[in-house]
Amino acid sequence: MKLFLSLLGILFIISFVEANDSKICQKCHPLIYGEYYQSSHRKASTVNDPIHKALWDKHPKNAKGYSCAKCHSPSDLKALNTGVLEYNEVQKEEPISCAYCHSIKDVEEGNLSNTNILNGKKREFYTAQADKKGNPQASYETKSSWFGLVKESRNSPYHKIDYNNENFYNGNVCMGCHSHTDNEHSFDISMLDAMIDKNDKNTCITCHMPQVIGTKVTIHETKTHAYHGIAGIQHRTKDMGKYIEFKVQKNAQGFELKILNKSNHALFGQSFREGVLEAKIIRGSKVIELKPYIFTRVLGKDDKEVMPWNANMSIKDTLIYAKKDIMFTQKLQAGDKLNLTLGVRRISKQKAKELGLIKSKNITKVKVLKTQTFSF
């Protein structure tokens, strides 16, 4: 009876939510859908992301129209195919839908940016599950026991599942959008890696979609599921701190901080993003606050700062690549405690002001990645 009601519920949703395909997923994947709905993927459109809207409003429009749909709202087929951007339910509810990401068959590398290649099949989705890799495509089935009194469901009654797409295991499924984004001057404005090397220990998925407690589906309960809120600058920010290591060396001039970046991309490379390192020395009852160190990349042209679409050079680059060495001239004494806090802003306060977003406090708030205290 429970199975019958579950199936009936799915059919009911399908018949009433044609304009919001991702809502259908909520019936069997409520935890995942709840995470997705608060994620940067669901908030990628101009309707939901004030920074993206402010930049697009200033962008010099051309015959291509809204050229950001490829990554910011690929589920809006009108915007994607015609360049016409308008408010609609897709832009609001699922600019990057569940079905879109789980239909990515492969990624085609490009000079200006990569492109997602979809499987073109309705209700046939990819996912990763190590113990099912190598098996045939999974379809819905039920197994009876105890003379038909107990029925066990396997797989989905709504879609087929392919566990054999390598891109969902090595993280390259993300690289259609999260690789490089070159402007018309062939200048990369996002500073993320191209394809992930097979020898890399960390991938987009292991870092930004870690396994968390809770079943991934209601039909067959599991202990954990891949986090679909996208861990990073908006959610589970401190989880990213484990991929950053601090090493402090005291010297005659002061002290040296070495920051090791264990991810496979530069930190804080996106346009207008800002990393903030705060350091303070606790000396008995006295607190000595040192000048914050800012990690950023300023885009320019002819040695002057410009908007991303006009840039052809970096006129300043203090990003954290594989490692970063920072010298402090404040001398440390025996008994001192050095407290280090590394955080990130989605956008610097200066750029928020220029874009008319200074009242949006949350987007300039420093989100803490890592805090550590050293004793001397």
> Which secondary structure element, helix H or strand E, spans residue 362, and what is its range?
helix 361-364
- What is the CATH code for 237-375? 2.60.40.10
Count of C-beta atoms within a 10 Å radius of residue 32 = 21
| Cα–Cα distance, 280 to 332 (Å, whole number) | 11
The Cα 231–Cα 39 span in angstroms is: 9
- The residues, any chain, with a CB within 8 Å of residue 172's CB and separated by 6 or more, are 107, 166, 195, 196
Q: Band of the pLDDT at 15, cuts 50, 70, 90? A: very low
Query: What is the tens place of the pLDDT at every residue in 115-127?
Result: 999 999 999 999 9
Percentage of the chain exceeding pLDDT 70:
89
- Cα atoms found within 13 Å of the Cα of residue 183, Cβ hemisphere only: 18
Question: How many angstroms separate the Cα of 71 from the Cα of each of 101, 156, 242?
Answer: 11, 28, 28
- Please report which confidence band the pLDDT of residue 1 belongs to, taking 50, 70 and 90 as the band edges: very low
Q: Is 14's pLDDT higher than 50?
A: no
Distance between CA atoms of 269 and 347, rounded to whole angstroms?
A: 11
Tokens in use for 55?
């930049």
Instruction: Please determine, for residue 75, whether its predicted confidence score (pLDDT) is greater than 80.
Output: yes
pLDDT at 193: 61
Average pLDDT score over residue span 81-94: 96
Residue 167 CB neighbours (<10 A)? 22
CB count within 10 Å of CB 125 equals 22
Count of all residues that appear for the chain in the document = 376
- pLDDT for 147 equals 57
**pLDDT score at 19:** 52
Residue type, 134: G
The answer to whether 340 and 323 are in contact (CB under 8 A) is: no
**Residue 346 DSSP one-character state:** S
**pTM for the full predicted model:** 0.88
pLDDT in tens, 177-205: 999 999 999 999 987 764 456 667 788 99
Where do the structural domains in the chain lie, given as residue ranges?
2-42+96-226, 237-375
- Mean pLDDT confidence for 360-364: 87
**CA pair distance 317, 335, nearest whole angstrom:** 35
pLDDT digits (tens, 9 = 90+) for 231-241: 999 999 999 99
Identify the pLDDT of residue 194: 47
Q: What value does the mean pLDDT of the chain take?
A: 89
Of the two residues 356 and 192, the one the predictor is more confident about is 356
Q: DSSP string spanning 303-317?
A: TEE--GGG--EEEEE
Question: How do residues 26-64 score in pLDDT, each as one tens digit?
Answer: 999 999 999 999 999 999 999 999 999 999 999 998 888
pLDDT tens for 286-310 read: 999 999 999 999 999 999 999 999 9
Q: Rounded to the nearest 5°, which phi and psi values hold at 354?
A: -65, -30
The residues, ordered by sequence, that sit 6+ positions from 74 with a Cβ below 8 Å of its Cβ are 80, 95, 96, 100, 116
pLDDT score, position 155: 76
What is the rounded average pLDDT of the residues 344-361?
92
pLDDT tens-digit map of 214-269: 999 998 889 999 999 999 999 999 999 999 999 999 999 999 999 999 988 899 99
